[in-house]
């Protein structure tokens, strides 16, 4: 019983980790390659969710919604890069933070005007509802299993693109030395737009999958963005591998903390004290971990540069 419970909670942790990874991958690329702090990454996540839910409700097809979410955020991401962010690469981080914070406000209000403030909910197609039976009587929701599969598949795909293709080589080169890449005659502006667009599409993918689990509402991106930044700090800026490892660590630590910290504390201190300390400590756990990583490896576990 305890083992199956731990395993099931582990799956929950991996599922959260995978979701964080999709967001962190795009953000870490943008941060690593363009040296751009993009607070509005969460808005792209929100846009992906809204595109998917609107199109799937309008057309009645879930897959069409998924496609719309991916393509929609890709286009919105590229448009944002061209219109607003392109001029900011040479500016310092404070300017970037200000502009991208402005974008958050803009997108949240826009979505509130278009769709209203109350949360939207999508219903899953019948083939994604229900549970799969695992060993030991574990019943795991099909949809969450699919999320894990899609996330891990995306990780493999990203790994292939970054390490085995020409585009990936340019991305890695851009992460380690921008000036040199430009000096070698690579159109760095175009590369930036493409990278930003794909980063946005990854955020959109996370958003459209999250829409079925979380609430689709204005400001939904900001709720998860803080954890994504924690992932990047732990994983190391600019590193896809770091984003994956960091995301899985954060997802598992957060879930395990929520599930087992309180019962664990109850064996050590009084139940009443555990009741107060448990939840407080569980919500701090991820940040304590980040502090620990920062103390031991200030550049993160898998720093891309230096």
Q: Which is nearer to other proteins, 84 or 223 (CB)?
A: 223
Q: How far is the CB of 104 from other proteins (least distance, A)?
A: 13
Cα(17)–Cα(205) distance, integer angstroms = 14
Question: Is 239 in contact with 157 (CB distance < 8 Å)?
Answer: no
Q: How far is the CB of 271 from other proteins (least distance, A)?
A: 9
- In 3-state terms, the chain is what percent helix, strand and coil (to 5)? 80, 5, 15
Residue 131's H or E segment, with its range, is strand 131-133
Q: Which is nearer to other proteins, 89 or 214 (CB)?
A: 214
Residue among 259, 10, 1 at smallest CA distance from 140? 10
Max intra-chain CA distance, the chain: 67
Q: Which is nearer to other proteins, 12 or 96 (CB)?
A: 12
Q: Which is nearer to other proteins, 106 or 214 (CB)?
A: 214
Residue among 225, 258, 229, 260 at smallest CA distance from 246? 229
Chain contacts with other proteins (rule: CB under 8 A): 1, 5, 8-9, 12-13, 15-16, 117-121, 129, 131, 139, 141, 143-144, 213-215, 217-219, 223, 255, 258-259, 262, 275, 278-280, 282-283
Residues 6 or more apart from 93 whose CB is under 8 A from it?
Answer: 37
Q: Which is nearer to other proteins, 200 or 252 (CB)?
A: 252
Cα(248)–Cα(141) distance, integer angstroms = 19
Q: How far is the CB of 221 from other proteins (least distance, A)?
A: 12
Q: How far is the CB of 223 from other proteins (least distance, A)?
A: 7
Q: How far is the CB of 191 from other proteins (least distance, A)?
A: 35
Q: How many CA atoms lie within 13 A of 191 on its CB side?
A: 20
Rounded to 5°, the CA angle 38-51-29 comes to 25
Q: How far is the CB of 199 from other proteins (least distance, A)?
A: 23
Q: How far is the CB of 246 from other proteins (least distance, A)?
A: 19
> How many helices, marked H, and strands, marked E, lie in the chain?
11, 2
Q: Which is nearer to other proteins, 195 or 256 (CB)?
A: 256
Q: Which is nearer to other proteins, 82 or 223 (CB)?
A: 223
Residues 6 or more apart from 22 whose CB is under 8 A from it?
Answer: 151, 154, 202, 203, 205, 206, 209
Q: How far is the CB of 143 from other proteins (least distance, A)?
A: 8
According to DSSP H, which parts of 60-165 are helical? 62-80, 93-115, 142-164
Q: Which is nearer to other proteins, 227 or 239 (CB)?
A: 227
């Amino acid at each position: 019983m305890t083992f199956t419970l731990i395993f099931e909670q582990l799956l929950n942790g991996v599922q959260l980790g995978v979701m964080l990874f999709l967001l962190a991958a795009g953000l870490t690329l943008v941060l690593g390659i363009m040296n751009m702090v993009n607070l509005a990454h969460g808005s792209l996540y929100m846009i992906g969710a809204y595109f998917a839910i609107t199109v799937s409700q309008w057309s009645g097809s879930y897959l069409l919604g998924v496609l719309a979410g991916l393509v929609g955020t890709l286009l919105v991401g590229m448009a944002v890069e061209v219109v607003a962010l392109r001029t900011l690469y040479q500016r310092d981080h404070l300017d970037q933070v200000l502009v991208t914070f402005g974008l958050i406000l803009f997108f949240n209000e826009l979505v509130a005007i278009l769709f209203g403030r109350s949360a939207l909910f999508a219903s899953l197609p019948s083939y994604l509802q229900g549970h799969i039976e695992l060993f030991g009587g574990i019943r795991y929701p099909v949809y969450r299993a699919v999320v894990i599969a899609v996330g891990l598949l995306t990780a493999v795909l990203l790994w292939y693109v970054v390490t085995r293709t020409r585009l990936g080589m340019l991305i890695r080169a851009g992460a380690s030395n921008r000036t040199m890449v430009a000096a070698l005659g690579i159109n760095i502006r175009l590369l930036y737009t493409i990278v930003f667009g794909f980063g946005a599409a990854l955020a959109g993918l996370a958003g459209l999958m999250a829409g079925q689990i979380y609430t689709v509402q204005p400001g939904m991106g900001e709720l998860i963005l803080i954890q994504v930044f924690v992932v990047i700090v732990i994983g190391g800026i600019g590193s896809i591998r770091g984003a994956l490892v960091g995301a899985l660590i954060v997802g598992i630590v957060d879930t395990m903390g929520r599930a087992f910290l309180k019962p664990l504390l109850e064996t050590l201190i009084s139940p009443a004290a555990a009741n107060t300390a448990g939840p407080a400590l569980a919500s701090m756990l991820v940040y304590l971990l980040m502090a620990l990583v920062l103390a031991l490896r200030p550049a993160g576990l898998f720093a891309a540069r230096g």
